[in-house]
Structure 1
Amino acid sequence: MARFPTFSPESGNPFSSSPSYSNGNLTTARTMPDQSTIDLFKDRHNRLMSTENEKNKLIEDLLCRLELTEDQYQRSRLDHDREIRYNREGQMRENQLQNQLRGVKGLMDRNAFVVVLLDGDGMIFSEELLQQGEKGGKEAASQLWGAMNDFVHRAIPHLSSPKILARIYANVKGLGDVLQMSGIIDRATLFEDFARGFNGSKLLFDFIDVGNGKDKADDKITEIFKLYLHDIHCHQILLGCSHDNGYARLLDDTMGDAMLMDHITLLEGVPFERELANLRASFRTTKFDNMFRDTKLATPYQLKNAPGPIQRPLQTIFANIPIGSPLAQVPSNSTTDEITNSTTTSITSKSNTPAPTWASMTAAPFIPSASSPAARSGMKNGTGPLKSTPGINRNRLGQRVDDLDESIPNEDIKRVKKLKLCNVYYLNGADACNNARCTHDHDYNITKNDLKTLRQVARMTPCYFKTECDDPKCIYGHRCPQSQPNSKECWYKEDCRFAGWGHGIDTRICKTTKV
């Protein structure tokens, strides 16, 4: 703290201007401050100014901070008001969406349905139902509806009364023939009666005839499956396909989407094929006991070539009668009645032996001729019997895929072509060619390499049955040797003998049919 000099009467009080009296005399002497005193004043003034500046700076800082705080407060208040408004609007919007969702769910549940898709060529009803014809079809529909209703109450309990749809796809005529040849039904038309009874039982139950052709049922089921899979009204699809690995590719497309997978149930008839068995753990599965066969039917090829007394269509019997027999003189494009009449007339004119009847022909054991596929199945390259049963490789579309040896030089192919060898004689056996007027060579001493080349040459001739051929020993072509997968043409373009069906075939094998 600054010290100031004390005042004395001699020096006078610098803060006082009173006159000084001395020795009784009045004087007006004013004492003037000296330089040190002035410096002290200035120093004091400077200190006061510094303090004043600090005070002013403090006030300015406080005002600045107040303004900043006020600005932050206003912004926070605006944010808070906006959040309140947004929450209120969000709540209103949520309520509207909840109402809309309840309305949509009500519409979905109003038309809710479950559908069962059956591949009728493999999911075959029990023999007891099939043998009853139209009555059995109605009973089958009733049993299927009851089993589906129990399944819905068990697996989808939140649906009170969904509609139940059933779609069965099959080749009715072809399957009827197979069932008759297998001895399951007495006549093929009984299966048509069964399908008619099934259709007439429930309004939403349909037995659909896909006609002739390989895998037509598969294709139709695949497309209808995709249609129903994303239908908001469809709550469950039961897929009856346990007999066919081809459906594994269809199910693979749904893997990874839990919602789609939850909408699919695999219905078991015969035991699941290998690829489907690997997928069954990922899907819900069920089985309707005593409704479907649990064993496969024999294929038409197996039935046609099976020894022993079997029942078969009349055309099949005539197709396997050896050449030279009186029955073999009937034109191949005649109807059944024409064949019977022509055969009876031919035999009566040549012999006193009674004319063969349907009963006498079917009662005798079937012996395949040398030219029949059964006899040819015992030949391998025309040298001896096969030790194993051949199979037919097919792609995901069910198209036949034969191996083609692309390593054979083009020069060898041209050379073997010029030999004019009989393909049937050398590839199917010495007794296979029964054309008395065959102009091709049967005496050539063929080598193993030429036989390999001849097999490739034979594949250059299109098969009459195209990709649907089910003869494992067929020597002809089921796809263009020059065409590449996904290519719709080859070097020959429209002049190719396979034009229109034998190009762009997927060569990836998905299943092998053993026959």
Structure 2
Amino acid sequence: MLKIISAKSSNPYVIVLVDGDGAKFEDSLIRDTESGGSKAANALKKQVDRHLRGTSLEHGVDVFARVYANFHGLGKVLRQSGLIRYIDDLQKFARGFTNTRPGFDVVDVDYGKGNADSKIRREHCERAHFCQLILTLEAPDLLKWHYMDSRCKKIFLVVCHDAGYVHDLRPLLDENSDRIVLVETTPAEPVFESLGLSVTQFEDVFRDAPLEPGAGLHTPLSPVQKAPNQLAGATPSQRSAVAGAQPERYGSVEQRSGSYAKVCGDNRHQNIVLSKGNKRRPLVINLNEDGNRIDASIQNAFNAKTRATYRQKLAKAKKGAFCNRHYIQNGCEWGPNCIMEHAMELTLEELDFHRFKARTGPCPYGPTCTDMHCSRGHHCPLDPSCERRDCQFRRSGFGDLHLSRGKMKAVYVMMLPNCRIYAELDHRKRMVEGVSFPEQI
């Protein structure tokens, strides 16, 4: 049982801890880039006051709130869902939230999915008001830290979307655990019920449904008729921001190896039949016989005239670089604030050449990458005829990423965003990057 540590000063407080990667604020608040953050802070304070009304904590306690989020990853999700235009909009929201009320903060936890929850679990509190307390913990834990502080009268924990917090909450279940209140946003994971903690909702503050992709996103282009005996592979827990739904691949580079068959947890596959009336396929990633990603061929990579005009434009480009996200990916979240070129127009052929140039850099996720719009190379773009001894694809973290002609044959396809693998029956209908990526030839 944890021992509550007393402090000399008697400044009672309540605190709201929010895993902002999973618990997202109401759409109307996020869209209001000028005053949404301020409105969110006031709405959150109002809901805390409502919960404390009629109790001994109604008066004379300070209210603090900390929202932990990965700005880069969350910004991409919100932008791709149509709630914000640029990642700067999220930063404006955070500034408004932080500047509205003393003790209210939004903390950027940088890259990596799960960083928000790790901060709630591990980060040492820096506020001088709290640091009057002397702790004797071997590993500072923010949740436990407040729980052990006798001045902390209530902890509102906005984490019910993530069952991983149950492990951290179980050691706190004692005669004082009525101080913890779970705040439900999207439907809480069932395992939270086993804790027996109070559960409430903060109306008009957080979304009560998962975020859906916006209409302007790259989503599967046509329905798929599945064979009756189709058996889907499991969804891998890696790089959560995949084209379309993009639940969140929050950016950190992990060292991984192996094929898609291993990543998806099931190397079984079934046939797929495309609807006859559709001109183009759904978004897919081609896999070879080993289950490794193979990049689509690029039509105009070696046209001398195209390369010449491209290089002329590149010399005039902002910072001497074209932004990959703007030109060949799913759009740049930085918009006009990006340090690289956005404004210059490239022809379709020049875009093809730019794709080829981007492919010359190995993807850190190698052959296991599940990002449809990834611009990096997943094997040498000169395959199957690369003869360069110093080619950087020979010394990648996944070994030598050079493929023979046989290994470049599409045997399976992975359907996005659910990572299901099917047998590729018709190899003649291969995918290429061209005028309308991806298109069927």
TM-score (norm 2): 0.50
Q: Which one has a larger percent strand, Structure 1 or Structure 2?
A: 2
In terms of Rg, which structure is larger?
Answer: 1
Higher relative contact order (CA 8 A, sep 6+): 2
- TM-score if structure 1 supplies the norm length? 0.43
